[in-house]
Amino acid sequence: MTDDVLVVHGGTPLEGRIRVRGAKNLVSKAMVAALLGDSPSRLFDVPKIRDVEVVRGLLGLHGVKVTDGTEDGELVFDPANVESASTDQINVHAGSSRIPILFCGPLLHRLGHAFIPDLGGCHIGPRPIDFHLQALREFGATVDKRPEGLHLSAPNGLHGTKFALPYPSVGATEQVLLTAVMAEGVTELRNAAVEPEIIDLICILQKMGAIIKVHTDRVIEIQGVPKLHGYTHRPIPDRIEAASWAAAALATRGHVEVLGAQQADMMTFLNIFRSVGGEYEVTDARPPKLGDPGQEGGIRFWHPGGELNAVALETDVHPGFMTDWQQPLVVALTQARGLSIVHETVYEQRLGYTEALNSMGANIQVYRDCLGGTPCRFGRRNFKHSAVIAGPSKLHAADLVIPDLRAGFSHLIAALAAEGTSRVYGVDLINRGYEDFEAKLADLGAHAERP
């Protein structure tokens, strides 16, 4: 574990410019979608993160030829020779990603069968795959549970269905989309997730030849087609990474410009950021012209000086405040005067990281009660899913162990904002979702190094 640690010398404001690439929560799904085409697909602006490596490996195991394109961050997928992969090979990837569940629909269409290993991911709650399996059964798949995982088949093919999700799960919505596009007949999905990454995935599938209508009130209608072709696509930027760097700028009293960040997909975050007392400016792209290389647009975030304000917020599905935004922002809220309240309504065990912040001098209490007005699935259950943050608190250095991806970045922000030298263990987990984060820290003037 000694090589999986970052020594962080805190107390220096982050200053400078970094760039975010394609959204982690879209890119991996776009890669899976390439399985459905009968011709090659091209995906641009792909970040160099571990989740991409995992999906690239899984595609390779199933006979998809994945090559680097001519542009930095471009991947080309050739699905001409899709084949079965051995259980042992797939199990090599078990525990490193939850993406294998989304291979099911495309593989059932291409091969007639699929296998899902025991699934990993971040330890923030069970994230049951029941929604996925129920959806696949509705399409006509059979599921055989075995010790090594789940074996699926579709002896009579896949057929359109009417389906209502009990909760607008992003993963289950992706599952239905990737399965329904080539299922015979019409599929109607109610209570669907409508996150920007979902809409971008729909755009990709539409480019491939799918017929998908997005109605009001979270209803998506898919007309199955007999075949799809490849796509060429540049994904939306990663709004989670952009917000994480924004929170880091606020917590360290710095000034960070995030190139590639888009206002439209971050409006809810930007409202809270300004309410807390942070400032931002949306910078438009400047096209290249003679003697001027131009510049990509983005958003500049900074701490304007003075005190920050306490706020009350609830996480929710889109267009609400993203659950992945709350951990980085909570570090900044430890520096706000008064009592801030965070009600987590998406994942039931996502506040465990606050213990580490308390060890650094923060004053955060977690509660089982729903401290907010949004109806919450976790009310009257034994989950500590609300937090009260009393501030401002002077943070001091500590040894920290990263429990999951987003909490890991919040630990990193806390170490940067604290006085003294912290040791952050398990930092390689951050590579799952943040491209070149150590190089970006250096670009922003942070004092951090591997021992």
Is the pLDDT confidence value at 104 over 70? yes
Query: Any known ligand binding at 24?
Result: yes
Quote the pLDDT of residue 380.
72
Mean pLDDT of the chain: 91
Q: Pick the range with the lowest mean pLDDT from 54-63, 64-73, 302-311, 326-335.
A: 54-63
Q: Lowest-pLDDT range, 126-140, 322-336, 429-443? A: 126-140
Instruction: Check residue 291 and give its pLDDT.
Output: 77
Q: How far apart are CA 192 and CA 325, in angstroms?
A: 21
Q: Is 98 annotated as a binding residue?
A: yes
Q: How, if at all, do strands 75-78 and 65-68 pair?
A: antiparallel
In this predicted model, what pLDDT tens digit does every residue of 341-355 receive, in sequence order? 999 999 888 999 999
Q: pTM of the full predicted structure?
A: 0.94
pLDDT value of residue 119: 57
Q: How many helices (H) and strands (E) does the chain have?
A: 13, 24
The answer to whether the 5-20+237-449 and 24-233 domains have the same CATH topology is yes
How far the first Cα of the chain sits from its last, in Å, is 11
pLDDT band at 365 (very low <50, low <70, confident <90, very high): very high
- Residue 214 scores a pLDDT above 60: yes
322/3: higher pLDDT: 322
Q: What is the average pLDDT across 158-184?
A: 95
- Percent of the chain whose predicted confidence (pLDDT) is above 90: 75
Query: Which residue has tokens 């690439």?
Result: 21
Q: Are 197 and 177 in contact (CB under 8 A)?
A: no
- The answer to whether residues 309 and 337 touch, using CB atoms and an 8 Å cutoff, is yes
- Helix axes of 170-180 and 130-139: crossing angle, nearest 10 degrees: 20
pLDDT band at 88 (very low <50, low <70, confident <90, very high): confident
**126, pLDDT greater than 50:** no
Which is the catalytic residue, given 104, 122, 203, 376?
122
What's the pLDDT score for residue 128?
63
Its sign, for the CA torsion 105, 107, 109, 112, is: negative
Using DSSP, state whether 67 is helix, strand or coil. Answer: strand
pLDDT at 422 over 90: yes
Flag whether 346 is marked binding.
yes
Instruction: Confirm or deny that 324 is annotated as ligand binding.
Output: yes
Mean local confidence (pLDDT), 364-370: 93
Band of pLDDT at residue 124, cut at 50, 70 and 90: very low
240 and 324 Cβ atoms separated by less than 8 Å: yes
Gap between the Cα atoms of 162 and 219, Å rounded: 11
User: What is the CATH T-level fold of the domain 24-233, as seen in this structure?
Assistant: UDP-n-acetylglucosamine1-carboxyvinyl-transferase; Chain (3.65.10)
Domain ranges within the chain, ordered by starting residue: 5-20+237-449, 24-233
Domain 5-20+237-449 is classified in which CATH homologous superfamily?
Answer: Enolpyruvate transferase domain (3.65.10.10)
Average pLDDT over residues 255-284: 97
- Is the confidence at residue 75, as pLDDT, over 80? yes
Q: Which amino acid does the sequence have at 141?
A: A
Per-residue buried b or exposed e for 153-175, using 16+ beta carbons within 10 Å of the residue's own CB? ebeeebbbbebebeebbbbbbbb
Per-residue pLDDT reduced to its tens digit, 5-47? 999 999 999 999 999 999 999 999 999 999 999 999 999 999 9
Say whether 122 is catalytic.
yes
Name the residue among 63, 90, 89 with its Cα closest to residue 77: 63
Distance CA 344, CA 376 (A): 9
- What pLDDT is stored for residue 1 in this prediction? 47
More confident residue, 289 or 447: 447
Coil, strand or helix at 186: strand
Answer yes or no: is pLDDT of 275 > 60.
Answer: yes
Q: Once rounded to an integer, what is the mean pLDDT over residues 441-450?
A: 96
Which pLDDT does position 93 carry in this prediction? 64
